[in-house]
């Protein structure tokens, strides 16, 4: 899909299929997460294609909090400081935390560790210049949910 978008071709059919697939198999987004992270780095300079990649992989985490959290932390959060991607990264995080997270916390300890928590903390309180004001406000609203989840794991 990404290569077709870089060439200027329509990718609407791909997106519909990805949404259907993500509804029926939410774990598919994390099966090859490392290769998606590598592809993200390759298409980083092609903003529409990179946003499509982030969107496509993120569809798996819409209904499954643990999958969404893993995708958010590993694929999206590294781009939180980049102007073209910060709004989408924070919006996705807000969407997955909107439901309040999952029930059991044992699965999340490996996903939201100390290093990951402090990267969110850093962008929330220290990097206000790199984020636009609306994105900064949205991240400030999201931070307490991330903090509660992190400290419930300790």
Tens of pLDDT, residue by residue over 47-58, are 999 999 999 999
**What are the tens digits of pLDDT across the range 4-26?**
988 999 999 999 999 999 989 98
**What are the tens digits of pLDDT across the range 87-132?**
999 999 999 998 655 555 556 777 888 888 888 888 888 866 778 8
Average pLDDT over residues 61-66: 88
This prediction's pTM: 0.87
40: which residues sit within 8 A by CB, 6+ positions away?
Answer: 50, 53, 54, 75, 79
List Cα–Cα distances, 142 to 82, 93, 120, in angstroms: 18, 7, 10
Q: In the chain, where are the structural domains located?
A: 2-152
Looking at residue 51, what is its pLDDT? 95
């Amino acid at each position: 899909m990404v290569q077709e978008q870089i060439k200027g071709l329509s990718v609407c059919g791909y997106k519909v299929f990805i949404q259907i697939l993500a509804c029926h198999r939410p774990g598919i987004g994390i099966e090859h997460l490392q290769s998606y992270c590598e592809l993200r780095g390759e298409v980083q300079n092609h903003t529409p294609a990179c946003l499509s990649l982030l969107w496509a992989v993120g569809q798996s985490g819409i209904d499954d909090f643990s999958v969404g959290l893993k995708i958010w932390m590993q694929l999206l959060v590294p781009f939180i400081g980049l102007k073209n991607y910060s709004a989408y990264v924070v919006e996705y995080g807000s969407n997955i935390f909107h439901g309040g997270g999952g029930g059991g916390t044992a699965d999340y300890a490996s996903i939201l560790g100390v290093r990951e928590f402090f990267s969110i903390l850093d962008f929330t309180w220290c990097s206000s210049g790199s984020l636009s004001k609306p994105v900064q406000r949205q991240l400030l609203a999201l931070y307490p949910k991330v903090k509660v989840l992190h400290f419930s794991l300790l």
